[in-house]
Structure 1
Amino acid sequence: MVEYRRRIVDDLLDELLPEMAAVALEGAKGVGKTATATQRARTVYSLQRTHQREVLSAEPEMINDGPFPVFIDEWQLHPPLWDAVKTAVDDDPSGGRFLLAGSADLPPGTRIHSGAGRIDRFTLRPMTLMERNFETPTISIGKLLRGEPQQIRGTTQRTLRDYIDEIFRSGLPGIRDLSPKVRRHRIQTYVDRLAEKDIPAAGGRIREPETLKAWITAYGAATATDASYETILRAATPGQSEKPDKKTVMRYRDLLTRLFILDPVPAWMPSLAPLTTLIRSPKHHMVDPALPAHLAGIGPEGLLRGERNVLAPDGETWLGALFESLAVQSLRVYGEANQTHVRQLRTKGGRQEIDLILEDWERNTLAVEVKLAGAARNEHVKHLNWLQEKVSDGRRLTRMVVTSGEQAYTRADGVLVAPLALLGP
């Protein structure tokens, strides 16, 4: 039996589950929801098993029999169970009663209670670099946000090739430790199953799965960009006179978002520090950079040679986009462990762009630029310094450049510089 690797969400569950009657873990297939919930459950119902699904469909009250916590896996395969849990929590709101896991949101029009106030939701993403035991972190994102003292020090021996290896291995627990050949097969199967099985199971009608797979590939090629959906569609259908219409493309987007495969970073729109030229559109990312890396057909050596993704802006490499996505994947989890909103900032005309803005409930803010470089140069920090000049609403603002280098340090202008490997929650 494979040994369970403790996840960052486990710390949150240790702290919060005793006070929460029901917790739903959401996320793409393969991120580890079932393994995490099973660690705590005393009763497990897996709705992927036809018999268990039929039994609970006939007698949903069985979930009250315990022993608790009761774990209902892939609950979305029988949506009325969500309401059954909600009713059970209404009757007994004591903590630690139910765990639910789902790898797809419900189709529009499915009528269930929102669960607000009864069922607390957490998103589980692929493993962060810290969870992969890539390196021992020396810098806490939470302390940076709260302004708690910590030394911005530390070195890592991890190289650019190590980061590239992590991009291709993925953060999916059941895939990352396989041999490269088997891993490539599993990732391709993962994408094929999305188009041919998972989307139809989630209520989506796909007439031409190959067209959808081409669109997924093109979306992946837009990783870490704000390319328009029209641009993505053109990349997915080169030379085709008859292309899917906008309604179809938006349906692709919505279906893949419901399956947690698309994971775009929303725009930052601060209410108390209005910046009038901000762009509201999201920045494209997939749930794991291993997916676009595999679909692009550019291997590790091609990345090192600087081969480009056709949707990357001029002067930017495919490796740079994938490294940014790897950083975003980990930093989102570190930030959310500290109850932050994770956003990004771009102004009209692309004059200013900041890769990540982490903001907690007290408006403590961490602005992050991700750079494929060993150290931070002046051009890497100019947008961070611009933001410091513009934000004057009294918030604590910390500026940081995340690099692929070896050394953590603080620049003379106060900007922190940290290798991605040295960051943790």
Structure 2
Amino acid sequence: MIEPSDSKPLVVRKVLPLVEAALADTRVVLISGPRQAGKTTLARMFANGDRPYITLDDAGTLNAAKADPTGFIRGIKRAVIDEVQRAPDLMLAIKASVDDDQEPGRFLLTGSANLATIPTIADSLAGRMAVIPLFPFAQAEVRSSPGLMLDRLFAGEEPSTNGDVVLGKDLMSIVLAGGYPEVLKRNSVSRRVSWLEDYVSLILDRDVRDIANIDQLDRLPRLLNVLAEHAGQLINNSSFGSALGLSGVTAQKYVAILERLFLVKTLVPWSNNRLSRLVKTPKLHFIDTGLLAALREDELARLSDDKTRFGALLESFVVSELMKLASWSERRVSFSHYRTKDLDEVDVVIEDRRGRIIGIEIKASATVKADDFRGLRQLQAAGGDRFVRGLVLHDHDRITPFAERLQAAPLSILWSM
């Protein structure tokens, strides 16, 4: 649990029961997510005399772990090891240790880089490690609301609101703040932006070096600014690269690094054999809209006058909130986007393991027209019986039916269900 400020109540992380359950039956548990999302605070709840806390942010500890990974792990029965991506060779030593002693709950790790994308690590700990994502605060956590929208919709329930509806400038303020705990402690916009600027500098200067060898490190901050202006759009690596004097291949590599550091998220295109005119290009989003707004220099007054500009922020906000809902859901889902060469689209397609799909279209306006469901209707026709529901989420306070399994609904159902 985390104390956002002395005057505010504790925010209970909804993945806490998942960590407890994983430690009871799995040898290694990894809490994975962005820096400053609350991983350390959560992990330290499980540290005690039998499971000491070790952080690789300490220079001496890090040097010891890198110099002799096997010796570092030898003799440790249980431990919490924080920021394990800083010494990736430790993972092989941990594998050897938990193969010798297969008792569950031996190592609780945190990582600010997506170690599951590194083939040698993913393969070495397959079947031995549970990975639990932890993102910055979700609105369902901040508001102590259920956060069960995905589970309830896939279970066949109708969308509903419980009165906790946020509209207009109040909604913009939530999107502009994002979810980093340290940012939400700060009441001043300038103090929030200052923290976020320092945060980006730290990650791009230090954390990138921990996970990748790149020749032009100075290009990453500029690339991040370019990506911020293209949030919510299809990825064009050649265009990104040309703006910085990089090849498209190099730009693609750098975008992948930023994704591994949980700064951005790419949504792959949804595919279906029955449809031949689908665009096959991924779409770009930012994990935290407070950070995105800071990079774009977006403020409340500016967005109030330019709803189109707010739309890009809002789309990343919804994608991020959906990812957070999925992180503690018992249902495994994947995210993609739908877009045709005729520019019909669905911003987010959510698919469960049974192949059932929910489509989400996002609008910054209060008004929704029948034409706003055009992409959802195409998705419904392509999905057939697998199509569970299509929603247009928008700046409104009530649910409006448009057709069977197609409704407009308040953005607030992201936390009110």
For 2:408, give the aligned amino acid. Answer: V
Q: Give deviations 1:266-321, integer Å, cap 9, x for gaps.
A: 22235xx64322222211012212222112223211111117xxxxxxxxx11011
Aligned to 1:299: 299
Aligned to 1:104: 113
Aligned partners of 2:179 and 2:24: how far apart in 1?
Answer: 28
Aligned to 1:331: 322
Native 8 Å contact 1:403 1:419 kept in 2:
yes
Aligned partners of 1:361 and 1:105: how far apart in 2?
Answer: 22
Aligned to 1:251: 253
For 1:253, give the aligned amino acid. Answer: V
Residue 265 of structure 2 aligns to a residue whose secondary structure is coil
Matched, 1:340 2:328: no
Aligned partners of 2:113 and 2:164: how far apart in 1?
Answer: 38
Aligned to 2:6: none
For 1:341, give the aligned amino acid. Answer: S
Residue identity over aligned pairs, in percent, reads 25
| CA apart distance, 1:107 | 12
Q: Give deviations 1:235-275, integer Å, cap 9, x for gaps.
A: x45xxxxx2233432332232223222211122235xx643
Aligned ranges 1:21-420 → 2 under 5 Å: 21-42=27-48, 43-56=52-65, 57-58=67-68, 60=70, 63=73, 68=78, 70-105=79-114, 112=121, 113-133=123-143, 136=145, 140-147=149-156, 149=157, 152-178=160-186, 179-207=188-216, 209=218, 211-234=219-242, 236-237=243-244, 243-270=245-272, 274-306=274-306, 317-336=308-327, 337=329, 338-350=331-343, 352-392=344-384, 394-420=385-411
The structure carrying a bigger helix percent of its residues is: 2
| CA apart distance, 1:99 | 1.2
Aligned to 1:240: none
Provide closer, same or farther for how the CA distance between residues 415 and 73 of structure 1 changes in structure 2, counting only shifts above 3 A.
Answer: same
Residue 212 of structure 2 aligns to a residue whose secondary structure is coil
Residue 109 of structure 2 aligns to a residue whose secondary structure is strand
Residue 130 of structure 1 aligns to a residue whose secondary structure is helix
TM-score of the superposition, structure 2-length normalised?
Answer: 0.86
For 1:365, give the aligned amino acid. Answer: I
Moved more, 150-159 or 173-182: 150-159
What count of residue pairs does the alignment treat as equivalent? 402
Aligned partners of 1:109 and 1:120: how far apart in 2?
Answer: 15
Provide closer, same or farther for how the CA distance between residues 123 and 275 of structure 1 changes in structure 2, counting only shifts above 3 A.
Answer: farther
Native 8 Å contact 1:401 1:417 kept in 2:
yes
| CA apart distance, 1:375 | 4.8
Provide closer, same or farther for how the CA distance between residues 287 and 139 of structure 1 changes in structure 2, counting only shifts above 3 A.
Answer: closer
TM-score of the superposition, structure 1-length normalised?
Answer: 0.85
Native 8 Å contact 1:358 1:367 kept in 2:
yes
Provide closer, same or farther for how the CA distance between residues 208 and 375 of structure 1 changes in structure 2, counting only shifts above 3 A.
Answer: same
Is there any run of 5+ residues in structure 1 with no aligned partner, and where? 238-242, 308-316
Residue 285 of structure 2 aligns to a residue whose secondary structure is coil
| CA apart distance, 1:54 | 4.0
Aligned partners of 2:228 and 2:276: how far apart in 1?
Answer: 30
Aligned partners of 1:16 and 1:155: how far apart in 2?
Answer: 35
Residue 398 of structure 1 aligns to a residue whose secondary structure is strand
Residue 360 of structure 2 aligns to a residue whose secondary structure is strand
Provide closer, same or farther for how the CA distance between residues 353 and 260 of structure 1 changes in structure 2, counting only shifts above 3 A.
Answer: same
Moved more, 224-233 or 40-49: 224-233
| CA apart distance, 1:356 | 0.9
| CA apart distance, 1:396 | 4.5
For 2:252, give the aligned amino acid. Answer: M
Aligned partners of 1:38 and 1:208: how far apart in 2?
Answer: 33
Residue 359 of structure 1 aligns to a residue whose secondary structure is strand
Q: Give deviations 1:174-215, integer Å, cap 9, x for gaps.
A: 222213221111111122233333323433335462x33222
Native 8 Å contact 1:75 1:102 kept in 2:
yes
| CA apart distance, 1:341 | 0.9
2:412 to 413, 416, 421: 421
Aligned partners of 2:381 and 2:299: how far apart in 1?
Answer: 41
Provide closer, same or farther for how the CA distance between residues 215 and 153 of structure 1 changes in structure 2, counting only shifts above 3 A.
Answer: closer
Provide closer, same or farther for how the CA distance between residues 403 and 85 of structure 1 changes in structure 2, counting only shifts above 3 A.
Answer: same
Provide closer, same or farther for how the CA distance between residues 250 and 412 of structure 1 changes in structure 2, counting only shifts above 3 A.
Answer: closer
Root-mean-square deviation (CA), in Å? 2.8
Aligned to 1:314: none
Moved more, 119-128 or 273-282: 273-282
Native 8 Å contact 1:222 1:232 kept in 2:
no
| CA apart distance, 1:44 | 1.1
Q: Give deviations 1:1-42, integer Å, cap 9, x for gaps.
A: 952522232232244432222111222212222122222233
Residue 82 of structure 1 aligns to a residue whose secondary structure is helix
Native 8 Å contact 1:335 1:358 kept in 2:
no
Matched, 1:17 2:19: no
